[in-house]
Structure 1
C-alpha cells in the first residue's frame, strides 16, 4: 500500500522514548483507503466519527477535502478497545509528499514496511532543535 508511519510515534521510536498520549499517524495514498481501513478494522480498531463512516466512498477522491491542508484529502480517526488512537491520513499524491510538507524538521521521520528514515538526524537528536518552515494555505493552489 505504500503506507508510512510518521509524526510523534516515529520520533518516539527513533528516540526510544515513549511519549504519553501519543497516537499513531499512518500516511497512505487516498486510493489505498480500502485495504488500510479493512486492516485497521480487522486489527481491533473502530472508526471514531460518524462523518468518517458516512463519507468513506469519497476518501480516494482528489476533490474531497475532509481536511483543509494541502496534500491531504482526508484524516480518519480510529480507536481500539485499549484506548489507543490512530489516525489514517490519506494523501492526495503520496505519503512522502505529506511528510515532506510538515511544518518542521523534528517530525520528518518515517517508517515503512522495510525502512526507517530520519531526514534530519543531527539537528533532531544531537542538537535537539528543529527548523520550522513557513506555510500559507494558498501554497498548494
Structure 2
C-alpha cells in the first residue's frame, strides 16, 4: 500500500484478543479506527484503553454510528466477529448450529452488506474477514484470514 491506508477503520468484534492487538497497532501508527463490540465486556475493554467503541447493536446503522463517533465515513472493515464454534461444528447440537448460523453467518452477511454499501456509495473501501480458526494456524490455501 506504500503508506496509503483506508481510514478510518471499523473493527467489528473489537473485544476479541486478535482485534485488541490490531487496535493497539492501529493506535501506534496513528490510524483512526472505531471498535464495534458484541458484548459489554468487549466494549468496556476498548473504552478502558481510551479507544472509540460502540455496541454492535443494529447492524444496518453501524457504518453511520461509527462515522458519527470518529467524524469521517468508514473506509475499511476488519471483521473479527466469530465464534470458536466454527472449529467445533462436528460436535455441536442442531440448536447450537442454528444459533451459530444466525450469529455468525447471517449477522456477518448483514454487516458486510451495510459496510460495503456505505463504501460503494463513495467508491472507496476494503473489507477483511478474519476467522478464529485460521488466525492461529493458517493453512496452505486457507480461505479465511
TM-score (structure 2 length as normaliser): 0.28
Higher helix share: 2
With a CA cutoff of 8 Å and minimum separation of 6, indicate the structure with the bigger relative contact order.
1
The answer to which structure has the higher strand fraction is: 1
TM-score normalised by structure 1 residue count:
0.29
